[in-house]
Amino acid sequence: MGSSLHIKYVVMDIELKDAELVLQIGSGGGREAEAELFRRMASRIRLYGLRHLRDEQAAEDLTQQVMITTLEALRAGRLREPERLASFVLGTCRMTVLDMRRGAQRKERLLEQFGADLLAPVQPSLPQLDHEQLTRCVQNLKERERTVVVMTFYDEQTGADVARLLGVSEANVRVIRHRAIHQLRECMGAAA
Amino acid sequence: MSCVNPLDAAVLADYWLGALAGAEEEGVELHLLDCDECGGRLREVMALAEEVRKIAREGSLRMVVSDGIIERAVGEGLRVRQYAPPAGGGVECTVTAEDDLLIGRLAADLSGARRVDLCICDERGVEQLRLADIAVHSGAGEVVYQESMTFAKASPSMKMIARLVGFDEAGVERLLGEYTFNHTRSLPGPGAW
């Protein structure tokens, strides 16, 4: 990627909202607007994919397919209300996840059509946490909070399951979990 | 650009866990598709969840656990060493280098206890640590306690007494059970904390 193109991205990031990019793409605004929209939306779609597919490669596939569908629609001017981009992308994410679960594969053909350079993978960027510090933070939680957090994140029990096992209400489990998460974040130096 | 209506980290955790109702989940997803600041916070929550998972697998936490946690650990190939001394009695115990989790199963009648504490005492019965208001079901019939594997592997031969105490509605404390663990060091070296 050349430096002049990079400068344009930065300028667009400051000056243009998502809806303005949508209008640019719809009016034949070119590859720079598409690349900027991809840069913004890809990481957001990827989070959706990780949440629903629980697999990094599948989330990457989802990101590419949703962006392709979105760019197709924008090029064709099918998104009549640009400020509803998030809603359009969410609907596309849902449909694509359903498609993926049904095993529909048209990725290779579309990659050829749109070009692999535009659709380069966005690497996961989970922040690195201080393991020893977090261990101390977890150990310093109240007993119920620690047990609920470990049952939730390690054993992947639902709130209803935890409630049944501990003989408390599901709402109570949610309160305990929320309190624990806030305390862990505070202990790790993050805002709520 | 700063988010004017940031999503709370605990709500984002609920989202990540799939614990939000349909309409609430849709609201969160629409927001996340429009907001990198909250997306960043979700990534922090995801990292927190992942790191907690790693910490749980290490067996270094002193805590009350569920059978589900133990079953998951076994399913993941972790080696779990368990002891179940009778109430009022003791058990000979140790840990080896290959062990990942160390569990004590403390049988007790928990019914009627509004709150249960687990006290860890030295060989004289002097309380060294109290896990207050542990997470147990009053009908469970036992408390499943995980001792820190880091602590146990470093420990010299010693005697540890675990004591379960309950509090009734009036706040009166009563002993529910006392359990003695006679730990013999089997790892090389003298052991020291």
- B145: tokens are 């306690």
> Which of the residues B7, B48, B57, B70 would you substitute to probe the A interface, choosing the one with the greatest number of A C-beta atoms within 10 Å?
B48
The bridge status of strand B142-147 relative to strand B127-131 is unpaired
Interface confidence, given as ipTM, is: 0.93
Name the residue in chain B with its Cα closest to that of A16. B1
What radius of gyration, in Å, describes the C-alpha atoms of chain B?
A: 21
- Strand locations in B16-157 (E): 63-64, 80-83, 90-93, 101-107, 115-121, 127-131, 142-147
Nearest of B46, B148, B34 to residue A185 by alpha carbon: B46
Q: Is B64 on the interface with A (CB under 8 A)?
A: yes
CA distance A85 to A4: 28
- Rounded mean pLDDT of B5-17? 97
Locate A84 and state its tokens.
């509803």
Residue type, B72: R
pLDDT digits (tens, 9 = 90+) for B114-131: 999 999 999 999 999 999
- List, for residues B84-107, the tens digit of each pLDDT value: 999 999 999 999 999 999 999 999
The pLDDT assigned to A118 comes to 57
CA-nearest residue to A181 within chain B is: B10
Chain A residues close to B33, C-beta within 8 Å: 41, 44-45, 48, 85-86, 89-90, 93
Using pLDDT thresholds of 50, 70 and 90, give the confidence band for residue B5.
Answer: very high
Strand partners, B81: B102
Q: What per-residue string of b and e applies to B41-61 under the rule 16 or more CB within 10 Å gives b?
A: bbbbbbbbbebbeebbeebbb
3-state secondary structure of A126: coil
User: Closest by alpha carbon to A147, among B83, B126, B24, B67?
Assistant: B67
Confidence grade of residue A101 (pLDDT, cut at 50, 70, 90): confident
Give the model confidence (pLDDT) of A104-154 as tens digits.
456 666 666 666 565 555 545 789 999 999 999 999 999 999 999 999 999
Q: What is the pLDDT of residue A6?
A: 45
Residue B140's contacts (CB-CB under 8 Å, 6 or more residues apart) are: B110
